[in-house]
């Protein structure tokens, strides 16, 4: 009986299988990030895929979209409320506190590569399981720490072949934000009177979210809203200036954007994003900023910190849209055997791999011609051809699959011959 069940299962909505080709590009992107971050002294931290729900409610903000609408939360069999991590900063700070990674007076530099889970409406560049690479610089209140994080961010996109423009703003300190929230609410009072209760409650809980709204009606209502700059404390203004100067020294292109507010509640002062013009509505490539109160809010000692997370899918989409291609990996050699020489072919393949080459060999008894065709399709640079004569003489025919040139090479010299022509 024929079963045709294979089409029934699909990857869940908003998730992606990462297929060969894409997986190699991702690995290269992740390696590029981790080694760049390593050059600045950042060391990798890996935290669990799930945490206690409370951790995210307290850190991202009870009124944030992430907490109110997007968390994958469930009770485990021990009746604990568990949440798949919607972002990496709160787990990283939980680990910093738990393992005392940043004793007073020190700076901890942490990098990470992580999946994140957000129940959002999927569209291009927006997934329910997405992936980020990120950095957290913990323990320094200096604007030079802000600059370091933003500089690495810019260098990362440059390493991918992109030309990043950093948008940045300062949200000031507590008193500044409180006063500014009041000013925005007062400015929007007429507009909000016409809205339903849900919109009003959300706006009152955090009116700053409306500043980067994409709704044209909100845009209209915001015309003439005072800019946050007028509410900055002197320290915030000085930090902002120092960050801009530092970015200038680092050769990072930036633009100050007073409407940049970010969707997480833990930010204080510096916030920034890099956007892409080439991937549609989900244009934020990364987001980050300073969050000096978070560690204390989570029960740790008062610890200033600044960080960033960059979406992996959006970086890859932008590279694709801008025609930046990384070559796919190709095997060095396909070992092709004439009838009766399958076992010596297997041994040759093993010996070449032991010398560090990547080598394919037929495993299901195909004809000589079929193996040659496969060798061509595989993208291998060379075919190593073995017949009875070669086996008897301890050599092989090395064929360059691009030019068709071939010559006889003693077994002992094969790896070196492949390497020489490869470089
Ligand atoms: P975020 O802005 O929520 O910040 O996310 C950072 C980046 O992750 C976004 O700019 C985007 O590229 C990517 N991203 C987020 N959600 C999705 C999604 N559903 N689909 C595809 N990509 C997505 C944070 O997560 C903060 N933890 C950043 C941070 C680190 N702040 C301080 N340290």
Residue located nearest, by CA, to atom 9 of ligand 1: 286
Residue located nearest, by CA, to atom 10 of ligand 1: 286
Cα distance between residue 289 and residue 293, in whole Å: 12
Answer yes or no: is the C-beta of 208 below 6 A from any ligand 1 atom.
no
CA 71 to ligand 1 centroid distance, Å:
14
Answer yes or no: is the C-beta of 265 below 6 A from any ligand 1 atom.
no
Cα distance between residue 336 and residue 123, in whole Å: 46
CA 311 to ligand 1 centroid distance, Å:
6
pLDDT at position 208: 87
Answer yes or no: is the C-beta of 286 below 6 A from any ligand 1 atom.
yes
Residue located nearest, by CA, to atom 18 of ligand 1: 126
Tokens 């895929």 belong to 49
Cα distance between residue 192 and residue 213, in whole Å: 14
Answer yes or no: is the C-beta of 287 below 6 A from any ligand 1 atom.
yes
Pocket test residue of 287, 298, 313, 315 for ligand 1, highest count of atoms within 8 A of CB: 287
On whether the CB atoms of residues 138 and 107 are closer than 8 A, the answer is yes
pLDDT at position 265: 83
The predicted model scores a pTM of: 0.93
Tokens 């955090």 belong to 206
CA 368 to ligand 1 centroid distance, Å:
52
Structure tokens at 402: 């691009």
Question: pLDDT tens digits for 37-90?
Answer: 999 999 999 999 999 999 999 998 887 888 888 999 999 999 999 999 999 999
**Number of neighbours of residue 273 by Cβ within 10 angstroms:** 22
Answer yes or no: is the C-beta of 102 below 6 A from any ligand 1 atom.
no
pLDDT at position 325: 93
Residues in the chain predicted with pLDDT less than 70, given as ranges, are 1-7, 423
Question: pLDDT tens digits for 309-359?
Answer: 999 999 999 999 999 999 888 999 999 999 999 999 999 999 999 999 999
Q: Point out the ligand 1 atom lying closest to the alpha carbon of residue 273.
A: 10
pLDDT at position 8: 86
Cα distance between residue 322 and residue 319, in whole Å: 5
Residue 183 CA from chain centroid, whole number:
36
Helix 143-159 with 234-250: angle, nearest 10 deg: 40
Structure tokens at 69: 């609408």
pLDDT at position 6: 57
pLDDT at position 280: 87
Q: C-alpha angle 248/249/253, rounded to 5°?
A: 35
CA 286 to ligand 1 centroid distance, Å:
6
Burial (0-12, 13-18, 19+ Cβ within 10 Å), 39? exposed
Cα distance between residue 300 and residue 293, in whole Å: 10
pLDDT at position 68: 83
DSSP assignment of 311-363, as one string?
EHHHHHHHHHHTT--PPPP--SEEEEE-TT-HHHHHHHHHHHHHTT--EEE--
pLDDT at position 199: 82
Answer yes or no: is the C-beta of 127 below 6 A from any ligand 1 atom.
yes
pLDDT at position 117: 98
């Amino acid at each position: 009986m024929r079963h045709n069940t294979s089409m029934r299962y699909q990857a869940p909505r908003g998730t992606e299988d990462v297929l060969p080709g894409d997986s190699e590009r991702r690995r290269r992107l992740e390696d590029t990030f981790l080694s760049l971050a390593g050059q600045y002294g950042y060391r990798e931290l890996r935290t669990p895929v799930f945490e206690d729900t409370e951790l995210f409610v307290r850190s991202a903000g009870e009124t944030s979209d992430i907490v109110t609408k997007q968390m994958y939360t469930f009770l485990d069999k021990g009746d604990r409320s568990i949440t798949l991590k919607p972002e990496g900063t709160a787990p990283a700070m939980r680990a910093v506190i738990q393992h005392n990674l940043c004793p007073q007076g020190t700076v901890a530099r942490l990098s990470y590569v992580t999946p994140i889970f957000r129940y959002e409406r999927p569209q291009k560049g927006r997934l329910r399981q997405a992936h980020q690479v990120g950095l957290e610089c913990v323990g320094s209140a200096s604007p030079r720490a802000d600059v370091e994080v933003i500089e690495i961010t810019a260098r990362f996109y440059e390493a991918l072949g992109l030309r990043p423009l950093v948008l940045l703003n300062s949200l000031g300190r507590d008193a500044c934000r409180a006063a500014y929230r009041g000013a925005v609410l007062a400015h929007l009072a007429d507009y909000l009177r016409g809205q339903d209760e849900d919109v009003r409650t959300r706006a009152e809980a955090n009116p700053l979210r409306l500043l980067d709204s994409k709704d044209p009606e909100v845009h209209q209502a915001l015309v003439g809203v005072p800019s946050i700059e007028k509410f900055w404390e002197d320290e915030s203004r000085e930090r902002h200036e120092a960050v801009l100067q530092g970015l200038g020294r680092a050769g990072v292109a930036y633009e100050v954007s007073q409407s940049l507010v970010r969707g997480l509640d833990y930010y204080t002062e510096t916030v920034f994003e890099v956007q892409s013009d080439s991937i549609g509505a989900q244009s934020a490539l990364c987001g980050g900023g300073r969050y000096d109160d978070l560690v204390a809010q989570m029960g740790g000692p008062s610890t200033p910190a600044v960080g960033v997370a960059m979406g992996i899918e959006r970086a890859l989409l932008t590279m694709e849209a801008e025609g930046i291609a990384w070559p796919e990996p190709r095997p060095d050699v396909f070992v092709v055997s004439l009838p009766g020489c399958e076992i010596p072919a297997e041994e040759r393949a093993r010996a070449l791999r032991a010398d560090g080459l990547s080598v394919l060999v037929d495993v299901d008894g195909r004809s000589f011609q079929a193996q040659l065709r496969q060798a061509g399709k595989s993208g291998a640079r060379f075919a190593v051809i073995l017949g009875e004569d070669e086996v008897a003489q301890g050599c092989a025919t090395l064929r360059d699959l691009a030019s068709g040139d071939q010559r006889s090479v003693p077994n002992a010299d094969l790896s070196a011959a492949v390497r020489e022509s490869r470089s």
